[in-house]
Amino acid sequence: MPMPAWLPPHERERHAVSDDSAPDSVAAPRPWAAFSHPDYRLLWTAHLTSVITQQMRILAVAQWLFEETGSAAQLGLIGVVQLVVQIPALIYGGTLADHMDRKRLMALANASTVATFAVLATLAAADALQSWHVFTAIAVTAATWVVSSPARAALVPSVVPERHIMVAVTTDTATQNVGAVLGPVIFAVAAETRGLATAFALTALLALPAVILPLLVRTPGRAEGGSTASTLRRAIEGFRFVIRHPILPGLFLLDTGITVVSFYREILPVLARGLFRGGAGATGVLGAANSAGAIVGSFMALFFAGVRAKGMLVLFATLAYALILAGFGSVTSLWLGAIMIAGLGGTDALTVAVRQATVQLTTPDHMRGRAFAFMVLSAQTANNVGTIWVGIWAAVIGAQQTMLLGAVISTLATLVIWRLWRPIREYRYP
């Protein structure tokens, strides 16, 4: 059977997509295969410390603002500031990642985080820290975080061979979930034992490896064949590439549709009370279970690296997510709910890993930064809209009905994409 015509030229050269004689799975690389490459080990260590730093950043500034002002509205402004700065910074970061040395871009962005939190620590220790200082720091660090992310994602396929990209991306996803647990723990210990000034200082210190280690990577950091056009023109080029890609728009639409009708992370207290009649303790149980499920799901994705039908893997995992969401909305026991929400975290982590790997594998090097940036932009927008959607419907029809409605829409959306987006069904790697 001939290779499908919808594949772009670089895909047709690199992948055997519809060979009926090929098995649906091949011998998977070992889960730790990416660590055999020295440059990846450097990037991985920088990534882990960067994720921990990001989690500590979020908690430290929120805690200081709440203790200082006692205003929940002040905390709400954090989201406004981040939304305003991150969208343009993310698009700009994607274009920079395809234009300049990615290693240097990562180092510069993370150095800004180090400097910002060193200033916060100094001001806090001198009892001179004010709210406007903190909001400025939030704007700077939120922007530098999303500027550095596309550069690092685009660099990973350059430091590991193509057959290890899926493993490397999945390892990164697992690392992010582990860091999301370690960061709050480190913050809590530092803040409770030494105070917030120390937490600020420790955040700056932990960000240092993300400045130094990328510069030690030997692989060239500049993309070959990049555009010399203006920043705006390069951003438009990236957008056009994504919307004309045979697979990515379908994957992004699928993720957006599911997330909008089911995004639960920001309103766990509402779900804890509405579904299980619980308070802060129930919220904590659900949050911990979801994080644990995401970690398990990330590691499970390592064992699916040998599955050739990557598109079908995403569709099956998304359908499983929708069915588990129905279960989550149907149970009344907190512990059953914890099991269900762990399943949601696990299936979501699996789809994230495969989606990111697909971006890396089907995008030429000089477009990877922009493609990754638009993927993150799609996900972040869906998260924000999903928080509004679930919050409003939970208030109108109740938490249980909201989750069940989300499950029905998610199932239908998955089946529609499954039926209409043939390239996703046919995508095979390797």
Spatial contact of 273 and 279, defined as CB atoms under 8 Å apart: yes
What type of residue is 72?
Answer: A
Domain-located, residue 246 = yes
Spatial contact of 136 and 119, defined as CB atoms under 8 Å apart: no
Spatial contact of 346 and 293, defined as CB atoms under 8 Å apart: yes
Domain-located, residue 7 = no
Print the domain residue range for 185: 32-217
What is residue 25's DSSP assignment?
A: B
264 plus 359 within the same structural domain: yes
Rounded Cα gap, residues 124 and 89, in angstroms: 28
Give the pTM.
0.77
Spatial contact of 406 and 261, defined as CB atoms under 8 Å apart: yes
175 plus 53 within the same structural domain: yes
Which phi and psi angles does 127 have, rounded to 5°?
A: 60, 35
- Which residue shows structure tokens 């979020």? 58
- Which residue shows structure tokens 């043939």? 422
Spatial contact of 144 and 113, defined as CB atoms under 8 Å apart: yes
What type of residue is 54?
Answer: Q
420 plus 305 within the same structural domain: yes
170 plus 285 within the same structural domain: no
SS3 363: coil
Spatial contact of 220 and 70, defined as CB atoms under 8 Å apart: no
250 plus 128 within the same structural domain: no
Domain-located, residue 63 = yes
Q: In tens digits, what is the pLDDT along the chain, a chain of 430 residues? A: 333 334 444 444 444 333 444 444 445 667 678 899 999 999 999 999 999 998 888 888 888 888 888 776 777 677 778 878 888 888 888 898 888 899 999 999 999 999 999 999 999 999 999 989 999 998 999 899 888 989 998 999 899 988 888 888 888 888 888 888 888 888 888 888 888 899 999 999 999 999 999 999 999 888 776 666 677 788 888 899 999 999 999 999 999 989 888 887 767 777 888 888 887 678 878 887 888 898 888 888 877 777 888 899 999 999 999 999 999 999 989 999 999 999 999 999 889 888 888 888 888 888 888 898 888 888 878 877 887 788 888 888 888 898 999 999 999 999 999 999 999 999 987 6
Q: What are the C-alpha distances in Å from 282 to residues 294, 320, 336, 404?
A: 18, 24, 12, 20
208 plus 254 within the same structural domain: no
> Which residue, of 217, 250, 280, is where some domain finishes?
217
252 plus 170 within the same structural domain: no
Structure tokens at 103: 């290693």
What type of residue is 378?
Answer: S
The angle subtended at Cα 43 by Cα 42 and Cα 48, nearest 5°, is 100
Structure tokens at 397: 């029809």
206 plus 246 within the same structural domain: no
Rounded Cα gap, residues 245 and 249, in angstroms: 7
HSE, side-chain direction, 13 A CA sphere, residue 56: 31
What type of residue is 28?
Answer: A
70 plus 198 within the same structural domain: yes
Rounded Cα gap, residues 115 and 120, in angstroms: 9
Domain-located, residue 186 = yes
Rounded Cα gap, residues 28 and 136, in angstroms: 46
Domain-located, residue 222 = no
CATH of the domain at 313: 1.20.1250.20
Q: How many domains does the chain have?
A: 2
257 plus 400 within the same structural domain: yes
SS3 307: strand
155 plus 279 within the same structural domain: no
Spatial contact of 152 and 43, defined as CB atoms under 8 Å apart: yes
186 plus 255 within the same structural domain: no
Spatial contact of 382 and 259, defined as CB atoms under 8 Å apart: yes
Domain-located, residue 113 = yes
Domain-located, residue 18 = no
SS3 51: helix
Rounded Cα gap, residues 231 and 227, in angstroms: 9
